[in-house]
Amino acid sequence: MDWAELAIVSQADVQLLTNAPSLYIDDGADPDREGVVAAHPGPSVSEAEGTKCLRCWRVLPEVGSYAEHSGLCLRCSDVVSM
């Protein structure tokens, strides 16, 4: 699952903590699925590194990697090149 796309942010880091209350409603149904989502140690929200893509508006360090599409991220460069 791409948490960044789900949360509509440029980057999302998710960590599952073991030995924590279950994240799932059906506790005990599958002990391998137990865990809880927690914020990354340190600031839970910070400004993304990079430049904003002119097409998708995500802030990514890869923006400008293609000279022919200098204001776009790699994904958007591939799309407009088709």
Residue 39 confidence class, pLDDT cut points 50, 70, 90: very low
pLDDT digits 0-9 by tens, 69-81: 999 999 999 999 8
Q: Cβ distance 72 to 53 under 8 Å?
A: yes
22 pLDDT tier (thresholds 50, 70, 90): low
Residue 20 has pLDDT above 90, yes or no: no
- pTM over 0.75, yes/no: no
> What residues contact residue 24 under an 8 Å CB cut-off, 6+ apart?
30, 33, 34
| d(C-alpha 58, C-alpha 76), whole Å | 10
Buried b (16+ CB within 10 A) or exposed e, 3-22: ebeeeeebeeeeeeeeeeee
Per-residue pLDDT tens digits for 24-33: 555 555 555 5
